[in-house]
Amino acid sequence: MHFKFKQYLFNQLFRVSMYPVLLDFGPFSVRTLWLILSIGFLISTIILFKTVQHNRLDLNFFWEKQISLLLFSLLGARLAFLLFNWDFYFPLENFWGIFRLIAIYDQGLSLWGGIFTFFLFFYFQTKKKKKIRVYG
């Protein structure tokens, strides 16, 4: 009896339910995934710029690559999700099924794919620049 009560209490306290749609404004809706993604992007950008300023690195390099890093990370996250969930998307029933492959609004993103492509793209961009100038 005592164990069941603890289990019940644990389940009630730590039950997490996420609402997929936070707000609806007619055809426009605010989804939880995109709100959390944009907050995370904003916080990570602020932390990155503070670190760059603290280490006296070239701020323009990071500012120019910020949007391209986000876009390549989203692309890599979607591609990784498609690879890991191959059976759900293939075989395509008809021609319009191709649009399901590029529809990132259906919340089909992979965290590890986004992180991997972020670091891969960042590595190649810094190699392309050869070195990051240090102010001094």
For the cut 70, the answer to whether the pLDDT of residue 106 exceeds it is no
Per-residue pLDDT tens for 1-34? 556 766 676 666 666 666 778 888 888 888 887 7
Residue 80, SS3?
helix
Residue 136, H or E segment: none
Percent of the chain with pLDDT over 70: 73
Residues 103 and 82: their CA atoms lie apart, in Å, by 11
- Mean pLDDT across the stretch 94-107? 69
Task: Give the tokens for residue 2.
Answer: 């005592």
Record the pTM.
0.64
Distance set, CA 136 to CA 81, 103, 126, 129 (Å): 44, 46, 20, 19
Domain boundaries, the chain: 2-129
21-25/28-31 β-pairing:
antiparallel
Please state, rounded to an integer, the average pLDDT across all residues of the chain: 77
Hey, what amino acid is at 23?
L
Contact residues for 58 (Cβ-Cβ < 8 A; gap 6+): 52, 132, 133, 134, 135
